[in-house]
Chains A and B, each alone.
Chain A
Amino acid sequence: MSNELKVPTMAELFAEGKQPEVLFWVGCAGSFDDRAKKITKAFVKILNKANVSFAVLGTEESCTGDPAKRAGNEFLFQMQAVTNIEVMNAYEVKKVVTACPHCFNTIKNEYPGLGGNYEVVHHTQFLKDLLSEGRITMEGGQYKGKRITFHDPCYLGRANGVYEAPRDLIRKLDAELVEMKNCKKKGLCCGAGGAQMFKEPENGNKDVNVERTEQALGTKPEIIAAGCPFCNTMMTDGVKSKEKEGEVEVLDIAELIANAEDL
Chain B
Amino acid sequence: MDYLPNIIFLLVLVAGIGFFAKNVKALSRNIKLGKDVDVSDNKPQRWKNMARIALGQTKMVVRPVAGILHIVVYVGFIIINIEVLEIILDGLLGTHRIFAPLGVVYDVLIGSFEILAFLVIVSVVIFWVRRNVIKIQRFLKPEMKGWPKKDGNLILYIEFVLMTLFLTMNAADFQLQTIDALHYVKAGSFPVSQFIAPIFSGMSEASLIVVERSAWWLHIIGILLFLNYLYYSKHLHILLAFPNTYYGKVKPKGQLDNLEAVTAEVKMMMDPDVDPFAAPAEGADEAAEPDKFGASDVTDLNWVQLLNSYTCTECGRCTSECPANQTGKLLSPRKIMMDTRDRLQEVGNNIDKNKGEFVADGKQLLGDYITEEELWACTSCNACTEACPVSIDPLSIIMDMRRYLVMEQSAAPSDLNNMMGNIENNGAPWPFNQMDRLNWKNES
Q: How far is the CB of A160 from chain B (nearest CB, A)?
A: 5
Q: How far is the CB of A156 from chain B (nearest CB, A)?
A: 9
Chain A 57-75: CB-based contact to B (< 8 A → 1; otherwise 0): 0110111010111111111
Which residues on A sit within 8 Å (CB–CB) of B251?
A: 109
Asked if A54 is at the interface of the complex by the 8 Å CB criterion, the answer is no
Smallest Cβ-Cβ distance to B253: which chain A residue: A159
Asked if B101 is at the interface of the complex by the 8 Å CB criterion, the answer is no
Partner of A206, one of B328, B434, B444: B328
Contact assessment for A32 and B428 in the assembled complex, using a CB-CB cutoff below 8 Å:
yes
Asked if B232 is at the interface of the complex by the 8 Å CB criterion, the answer is no
Which residues on A sit within 8 Å (CB–CB) of B418?
A: 198
Which residues on B sit within 8 Å (CB–CB) of A70?
A: 256, 380, 399, 402
Asked if A138 is at the interface of the complex by the 8 Å CB criterion, the answer is no
Asked if A154 is at the interface of the complex by the 8 Å CB criterion, the answer is yes
Asked if A155 is at the interface of the complex by the 8 Å CB criterion, the answer is yes
Asked if A52 is at the interface of the complex by the 8 Å CB criterion, the answer is no
The CA-CA distance from A109 to B256 in the complex, in Å, is 8
The CA-CA distance from A73 to B262 in the complex, in Å, is 10
Partner of A74, one of B262, B330, B383, B416: B262
With contacts A71-B402, A204-B324, A206-B327 taken as known, whether A65 is within 8 angstroms of B379 at the C-beta atoms is no
The CA-CA distance from A28 to B407 in the complex, in Å, is 24
Asked if A19 is at the interface of the complex by the 8 Å CB criterion, the answer is no
Q: Which of A126-134, A165-173, A182-190, A245-253 contacts B (4 or more CB under 8 A)?
A: A182-190
Chain A 157-200: CB-based contact to B (< 8 A → 1; otherwise 0): 01111000000000000000000000001111101111111111
User: B interface, how many residues as a size bin?
Assistant: 35 or more
Asked if A144 is at the interface of the complex by the 8 Å CB criterion, the answer is no
Name the residue in B262, B321, B406, B437 with the highest tally of chain A Cβ atoms < 10 Å from its Cβ: B437
The CA-CA distance from A199 to B440 in the complex, in Å, is 25
Smallest Cβ-Cβ distance to B428: which chain A residue: A28
Residues of A in contact (CB 8 Å), total: 75
Which residues on B sit within 8 Å (CB–CB) of A76?
A: 420, 423-424
Which residues on B sit within 8 Å (CB–CB) of A80?
A: 423, 427
Smallest Cβ-Cβ distance to B398: which chain A residue: A194
Which residues on B sit within 8 Å (CB–CB) of A202?
A: 324, 329-331, 373, 376-377
The CA-CA distance from A78 to B437 in the complex, in Å, is 21
Q: How far is the CB of A243 from chain B (nearest CB, A)?
A: 20
Q: Which of A1-9, A89-97, A217-225, A255-263 contacts B (4 or more CB under 8 A)?
A: A1-9
Chain A 88-129: CB-based contact to B (< 8 A → 1; otherwise 0): 000000000000000001001110011000000000000000
Q: How far is the CB of A149 from chain B (nearest CB, A)?
A: 17
Asked if A136 is at the interface of the complex by the 8 Å CB criterion, the answer is no
Which residues on B sit within 8 Å (CB–CB) of A30?
A: 440
Asked if B280 is at the interface of the complex by the 8 Å CB criterion, the answer is no
Which residues on A sit within 8 Å (CB–CB) of B379?
A: 154, 189, 191-194, 196, 208
- CB contact list, B311-334 vs A, under 8 A: 321, 323-324, 326-331
Q: How far is the CB of A215 from chain B (nearest CB, A)?
A: 11
Chain A 39-63: CB-based contact to B (< 8 A → 1; otherwise 0): 0110000000000000010110111
Instruction: Jot down 14 A-B pairs with beta carbons below 8 A, ordered by A.
Output: A3-B444, A28-B427, A31-B432, A59-B437, A67-B420, A71-B416, A79-B266, A109-B254, A109-B255, A193-B379, A193-B380, A198-B429, A202-B329, A202-B377
Beyond A109-B251, A158-B386, 16 extra complex contacts between A and B, CB < 8 Å: A31-B437, A59-B435, A68-B419, A71-B412, A72-B294, A72-B399, A72-B406, A105-B254, A109-B252, A159-B253, A194-B378, A199-B415, A203-B330, A204-B328, A206-B328, A211-B327
Q: Give the 7 A-B CB pairs with smallest separation, nearest first.
A: A159-B254, A194-B380, A205-B328, A72-B402, A62-B427, A204-B328, A109-B255
List the interface of chain B (C-beta within 8 A of A): 251-259, 262-263, 265-267, 269-270, 293-294, 321, 323-324, 326-331, 373, 376-383, 386, 399, 401-407, 412-413, 415-416, 418-420, 423-424, 427-430, 432, 434-444
